[in-house]
Amino acid sequence: MTDWTPYTARAKDWFEDLRNRICAEFEAIEREAGSDAAFDYLPWQREEEGNDNPGGGVRGVMKGKVFEKVGVNVSTVHGTFAPEFARTIHGAEENPQFTATGISLVAHMANPHVPAVHMNTRFLTTARAWFGGGADLNPPIPRDEDTEEFHAALRAACAAHNPTYYERFSKWADDYFFIPHRGVHRGVGGIFYDHLECTGQDGEESGEVAAWERHFAFTRDVGSAFLDVFPRIVRRRMDEPFTEADRKAQLEWRGRYAEFNLVYDRGTLFGLKTGGNIDAILMSLPPQAVWN
């Protein structure tokens, strides 16, 4: 069976590098808008009784002129799932010990014409090892041009690896980012994937490593596609005039976003159940929202 430790380290390095490039690009956009806003970074350590190496992460948050609130988190954590929660995690019933490394990003924008966005990619090991993640666009006021460009970037990233990925993963996003009690989708979609397993024929280690390399390459391309397309959309919309009615629509939409993340989002639950940093877990919540 493969020792995933060096592969976890490679994934961690990539997620941190992607974080650095995304944050630099978002700060550059703030400079273009005449703002000196920058990310504040807060390291945190996870705690777990009897665990000498529980891991932790870094929470990065910026509040600026264009980005009303954007959080970019990276973490690498190790531990043991509680028995009840282990039954809900892929492979954890066989082995409740886990390692997880990943990046998570949520941006809430000042201008209602600039879509909010979510992006997350991760690598997790229990008795099994797999990648998951995706990106989805969440505009309060949808614009066809932005939606089509965002999907086109993710479609191209998928097509470079598997001709079935985009159709499968875009449907998965539509199904996942849905608010049942409202009967509405959270946004205009994107892609969502999970349990891309690193398995080889008959459990051969060489096959596991080859699968890891394939899925890691795909996960990198998802992150790179996001970094390419989202700043273009921001720059296109950030100077558009908006009305009080537009702002009202944005704040009401943000309430729906908050409802999904607090009630249905699996990443939120994972963080809370594994002793993650509360502020990092809940950084996805908007700075302002209304319910009428």
Residues annotated as catalytic (active site), given as ranges: 118
| Count of other CB atoms within 10 angstroms of residue 74 | 23
Q: Report the candidate in 157, 268, 133, 165 with the shortest Cα–Cα distance to residue 221.
A: 157
Q: How far apart are CA 22 and CA 165, in angstroms?
A: 24
Q: How many helices (H) and strands (E) does the chain have?
A: 8, 9
Would you call 9 helix, strand, or coil by DSSP?
helix
Q: How far apart are CA 62 and CA 247, in angstroms?
A: 20
Asked if 256 contacts 179 with a C-beta cutoff of 8 angstroms, the reply is: yes
DSSP string, 42-100: EEEE---TT-S--EEEEEEEE--SSEEEEEEEEEEEEEE--HHHHTTSTTTTT--EEEE
DSSP symbol at 137: E
